[in-house]
Amino acid sequence: LKMNKSLPPSLASEETEIIQSSNVAATIGTDVKFQCQYDNLKGNYDSVYWYLQRANQRLTYIYHTFQGTMELERYQLSVDRKLSSSTLTIKHVQPRDRAIYYCGVNTAGAGRLTFGKGTQLIIQPSIKDPDPTVYQLRDSKFRNTSVCLFTDFESPINETQGTKDSEVFISKNPVLDMRSMDSKSNGALAWSNKIDFTCRSAFTENASFPSPGEYLPLTLAHCISLLLQRHGSA
C-alpha cells in the first residue's frame, strides 16, 4: 500500500495487509456496514481501530476493540479474530456521516497502526412515496402567461421542448432539495402564453390538478411557500 496522503505518516502503511472496499452507499435513515479484512496477519495483531475523515479535515477516532462487539451511540464495532475481520456499523445514517472510514490494525510488536485504503460513504437521499400535485399560477401583471408547478412526482417526466407551434415549454426535472426539512422531491415547471393553456395539457401523469380557472399568485415567495407546506405536512 503506497503512502496515503490522507493519513499522517506515522499511521500510514507500506504493506498490503488491510482490505477495504473503495466505497459503500446508504440511504438516509438506514444502517450501513463497513467491512475490513486482514487474513495475512494470521492473528498477529492486537486491537482493531476505526477512524473517519471528513472532507478537508483530520482523522477522527471512532472506537477500537480487541475482540467481540462494542457499541457507542450510533456506532457498533465488531472484531472476529477467527475470521480476521472487523465490521463497523453506523445506525440511522445522516448526511453528516459522509466521510471516508479507515480500518487500522495494531500489529503485535510493531507499535504502529496498519491502515487500509479507506471506504468512502456515499449518502443517497430518501425520497418518500410520491404524492404528485400540480399548481397553476398566474402573474397579475401578465395575465396572458400561465405557469404550472408540478411537485412530488416519483421519476422524471417526459419533457418536451417548446416550439413556435405549441408555445408550451416544460423545464427539465430538477430535484428540489428541502435541506431545512432533510427531504427531497422531484419538481418541474411548464409555462405558456396560450389562452387555452392548462396544466393538465402539460402534465399527463396522474396527479392532483387545480380546478378550471383556479389560479394562484405567481411569485417566487409563493412557490417556496407551497413547497414548504407540502413537505412540512409530510
Asked if residue 119 and residue 66 are part of one domain, the reply reads yes
Cβ neighbors of 139 (< 8 A, separation 6 or more) are 145, 147, 217, 218
Query: Residue 33 sits in a domain of what CATH number?
Result: 2.60.40.10
C-alpha cell at 229: 407546506
Residue 79 near residue 72 (C-beta atoms within 8 A): no
Pairing of strands 133-139, 216-217: parallel
Asked if residue 137 and residue 116 are part of one domain, the reply reads no
C-alpha cell at 169: 415549454
**Domain coverage including residue 228:** 133-232
Pairing of strands 168-170, 216-217: unpaired
Per-residue pLDDT in tens (0 to 9) along the chain, 234 residues: 333 444 544 454 445 488 999 999 998 899 999 999 988 777 677 889 999 999 999 999 999 999 999 999 999 999 998 898 999 999 999 999 999 999 999 876 667 888 999 999 998 877 665 566 777 776 666 566 677 777 766 555 544 444 444 456 665 555 455 444 445 566 677 777 776 777 776 666 565 555 555 554 445 455 545 444 544 444
Asked if residue 218 and residue 153 are part of one domain, the reply reads yes
Give CA 116 to chain center in angstroms.
24
pTM: predicted TM-score of the whole model, two decimal places: 0.55
